[in-house]
Structure 1
Amino acid sequence: MLDLFAEDEPWQETLAPGAVILRRFARQDGATLMAALNDVAAQSPFRHMVTPGGYTMSVAMTNCGSLGWTTNTRGYLYAPVDPQTGQPWPAMPAPFQRLCEAASQAAGYPDFVPDACLINRYQPGAKLSLHQDKDEPNLAAPIVSVSLGLPAVFQFGGATRSAPLQRVLLEHGDVVVWGGPSRLFYHGIQPLKPGEHPLTGGFRYNLTFRAAGYYE
C-alpha cells in the first residue's frame, strides 16, 4: 500500500526542454485537493464524453473554472456552461489555484494564470491515447498536470505522433508541467492497472490546468 503520509522531499526531473516532473509536489495536499474535487463533481458530475467521431472516452471527465473543455459533433471546445447541467462550471477551488501557482513557479512559468481545470477520473483499463493539447487559443501558456491516487504510466513524445516516447511512472502527488518548446508535444496515459489507494480507492484522478482564454 502507498504511504499517504510519506515525508520524502519533492524533487524535479527534466523531461524535455520546457518540460519537468515535480515529484511528490502535491502529496501533502492530497486530502485537501480530493475534498475540493468532490465538491466540484457534486455540482458537475463526471461523465464519459463522446468524441466527434462517435467514440466514448474511457476516462470520465468534468471541469471547473470559468471555462470547461468539452466535445460536440463539430469538435472539441471550451465553453463557459456545462452542457450536462446547463449551469456555469463550478468555480476553481482555492486549493487548486494555490497548487497550480506554486507548481508553475517551480517549473519556471511564474506568470501562468489558469482559467480552466479539466478533471479526469481513471478506473482500471481506462487510458488516454496520444494527443496534443492544442484547443487553447494562445499556446504561450504551459500545461500543469497533477496526479492523484493510483500510479499510471505517462507517455511523453515529441512534436509528431511518430516521435520516440518516454514512458515514466507518475505516482500520487506528482506534477508534470510542460510549455515553451514542448508545449505541443504528444502525450498520453497507458491503461490504468488495478490497485487500491488509501485516498482515492480504485481510481486515479488527474487535474489539468490550462489557460483556455487569451494569455499574455
Structure 2
Amino acid sequence: MTELTLRGFIIHKGLLEVADQRAVVEAVRGVVKSAPLFRPDTPYGKKMSVRMTAAGRYGWLSDRTGYRYVPTHPDGMQWPPIPPNILDIWNRVTGLARKPECCLINYYAPEAGMGMHQDKDEADFQWPVVSVSLGDDALFRIGNTTRGGKTESIWLQSGDVVVMGGNARLAYHGVDKLRAGSSNLLPKGGRINLTLRVVE
C-alpha cells in the first residue's frame, strides 16, 4: 500500500487486500438485495449512466427537482444500514469519531462515466468524503474548486481509497472512462464506487 496526494486528494493505493475487496462486494450485494439499484434522472431529464443505491440514514437522489439526500429508496423502503466492514474503511482512513450517515453505491458498467461535479449537498463541508474503488480501473479526473481550468488525472485500481477533505473537499472531480477487463473482482465486469459522506 502506498499513499500519495494529488491536489489535496489523499489517495491510498492498494489499501484493501483482495480478500477485503471481496468481503466488501458481498456486503454491497446484501445492500442491493434490500435496496435495488436504480438509474436516476438528472435535473435536465437525462438518465445518468451509472446505477446507484445507498446504505445508511440517507441516500442520494437526482430528478427533475434537483439533487438531494432522502431518507427512503425511490421504491419507498428505508435504506439498509451501512455494513460494518465498510464503516471500518472510514475509521481506518479518517480516524474521526463522527461517522458517515450515507454510503452512496454507484455501479459503472464498462461504458459508464461521471461528469465533473462537486459534492456539495451535505450540510457541513468540514467532514471529508471517502471514496472506495472496486472492480475495473477508472480514470479519475481532479479539477479546481471552480469550474474549468487545468485538471489532472490518475488511474484508480480496485482496492484504492481516496479521501477528499480540507481544501480539496469542494474540488470538481469525475470519472472519464473505465479500463474494461482490468479486474476480475466483479463477474460481469464494471466498477463499484462507494462514497461515504457525513450528511447532517
TM range (shorter): over 0.9
Cα distance, 1:15 vs structure 2 = 1.1
Q: Gaps spanning 5+ residues in structure 2: where? A: none
Letter paired with 1:210: R
Q: Are 2:37 and 1:54 aligned? A: no
User: 2: CA distance between counterparts of 1:101 and 1:164?
Assistant: 33
Cα distance, 1:89 vs structure 2 = 0.5
Higher mean C-alpha displacement, 167-176 vs 190-199: 190-199
Moved over 3 A (4+): none
**1:21, 1:174 within 8 Å by CA — same for their partners in 2?**
yes
Cα distance, 1:112 vs structure 2 = 4.2
Letter paired with 2:174: G
Cα distance, 1:52 vs structure 2 = 1.4
Q: Are 2:70 and 1:79 aligned? A: yes
User: 1: CA distance between counterparts of 2:184 and 2:63?
Assistant: 36
Higher strand fraction: Structure 1 or Structure 2? 2
Match of 2:199 in 1: 212
**2:7, 2:142 within 8 Å by CA — same for their partners in 1?**
no
Select 2:22's aligned residue among 27, 31, 45: 31
Query: Could you tell me the percent identity over the aligned residues?
Result: 38
**1:118, 1:209 within 8 Å by CA — same for their partners in 2?**
yes
Match of 1:160 in 2: 146
Letter paired with 1:36: A
Cα distance, 1:160 vs structure 2 = 1.4
Q: How many residues in Structure 1 have an aligned counterpart in Structure 2?
A: 198
Higher mean C-alpha displacement, 136-145 vs 72-81: 72-81
Cα distance, 1:164 vs structure 2 = 1.3
Cα distance, 1:138 vs structure 2 = 0.8
Match of 2:86 in 1: 96
Cα distance, 1:196 vs structure 2 = 5.5
**1:149, 1:171 within 8 Å by CA — same for their partners in 2?**
yes
Letter paired with 1:48: R
User: 2: CA distance between counterparts of 1:180 and 1:199?
Assistant: 32
TM-score, structure 1 as length reference: 0.88
**1:115, 1:210 within 8 Å by CA — same for their partners in 2?**
yes
**1:64, 1:89 within 8 Å by CA — same for their partners in 2?**
yes
Higher mean C-alpha displacement, 95-104 vs 146-155: 95-104
Q: Give the CA RMSD over aligned residues.
A: 1.2
User: 1: CA distance between counterparts of 2:142 and 2:174?
Assistant: 7
Cα distance, 1:92 vs structure 2 = 0.6
User: 1: CA distance between counterparts of 2:107 and 2:26?
Assistant: 15
**1:152, 1:169 within 8 Å by CA — same for their partners in 2?**
yes
Match of 1:116 in 2: 102
**2:13, 2:161 within 8 Å by CA — same for their partners in 1?**
yes
Secondary structure in 1 matching 2:179: coil
**1:27, 1:172 within 8 Å by CA — same for their partners in 2?**
no
Cα deviation digits, residues 14-37 of structure 1 (max 9, x gap): 1123x2100111234101100000
